[in-house]
Structure 1
Amino acid sequence: MSVAGGRAAERDGRGRRIILWRHGQTSWNTARRFQGTTDVPLTETGLAQARRAARLLAGLRPDAIIASDLERAARTAAELAEFTSLEVVTETGLRETYAGSWQGLTHDEIMARHGEEYAAWKRGEPVRRGGGELETEVADRAAPVVLRHLEKIPEDGTLVVVSHGGTIRTTIGRLLGLDPRSWESLGGLSNCCWSVLGQGARGWRLLEHNAGTLPEPVLGDDD
Structure 2
Amino acid sequence: MGNETPARRIVLLRHGRTAWNAAHRIQGQIDVELDDVGVDQARSVAPLIAALEPTLVWSSDLARARMTADEVAKEAGLVPSYDARLREFTLGEFEGLTHDELRVRDAGAFDRFRRDEWVGIPGAESPLEVADRISAALHDLADALGPGETGVAVTHGAAARAGLVAFLGWPLATARDLRAIGNCGRVFLEQRPTGDWLLAAYNL
Superposition TM-score, scaled by structure 2 size:
0.92
Corresponding residue number in structure 2 for 1:132: 124
How far, CA to CA, are the matches of 2:44 and 2:22 in structure 1? Answer: 19
How far, CA to CA, are the matches of 2:195 and 2:203 in structure 1? Answer: 23
**Structure 1 residue 48: Cα displacement:** 0.7
Q: Which among 47, 51, 62 is matched to residue 59 of structure 1?
A: 51
Corresponding residue number in structure 2 for 1:72: 64
Amino acid at match of 1:32: H
How far, CA to CA, are the matches of 2:125 and 2:173 in structure 1? Answer: 15
Q: Which among 35, 40, 43 is matched to residue 35 of structure 2?
A: 43
How far, CA to CA, are the matches of 2:161 and 2:102 in structure 1? Answer: 21
**Structure 1 residue 79: Cα displacement:** 0.4
**Structure 1 residue 14: Cα displacement:** 4.2
Q: Which among 164, 167, 171 is matched to residue 175 of structure 1?
A: 167
Over 3 Å counting, the alpha-carbon distance change for 1:107 and 1:77 in structure 2 is: same
Q: Which among 193, 198, 202 is matched to residue 205 of structure 1?
A: 198
Please say if 1:141 is aligned against 2:139: no
Report the secondary structure of 2:203's partner residue: strand
Q: How does 1:69-218 map to 2 (within 5 A)?
A: 69-123=61-115, 125=117, 127-200=119-192, 201=194, 203-211=196-204
Over 3 Å counting, the alpha-carbon distance change for 1:47 and 1:158 in structure 2 is: same
Q: Does the 8 Å contact 2:7/2:190 carry over to 1?
A: yes
Superposition TM-score, scaled by structure 1 size:
0.84
Amino acid at match of 1:168: A
Report the secondary structure of 1:129's partner residue: coil
How far, CA to CA, are the matches of 1:30 and 1:130 in structure 2? Answer: 25
**After the TM superposition, which of the residue ranges 60-69 and 140-149 deviates more from structure 2?**
140-149
How far, CA to CA, are the matches of 1:64 and 1:114 in structure 2? Answer: 43
Q: Does the 8 Å contact 2:133/2:163 carry over to 1?
A: no
Q: Does the 8 Å contact 1:124/1:180 carry over to 2?
A: no
How far, CA to CA, are the matches of 2:6 and 2:120 in structure 1? Answer: 39
How far, CA to CA, are the matches of 2:191 and 2:107 in structure 1? Answer: 39
Q: Does the 8 Å contact 1:70/1:95 carry over to 2?
A: yes
**Structure 1 residue 125: Cα displacement:** 4.5
Corresponding residue number in structure 2 for 1:16: 8
Gaps of 5+ in 2: none
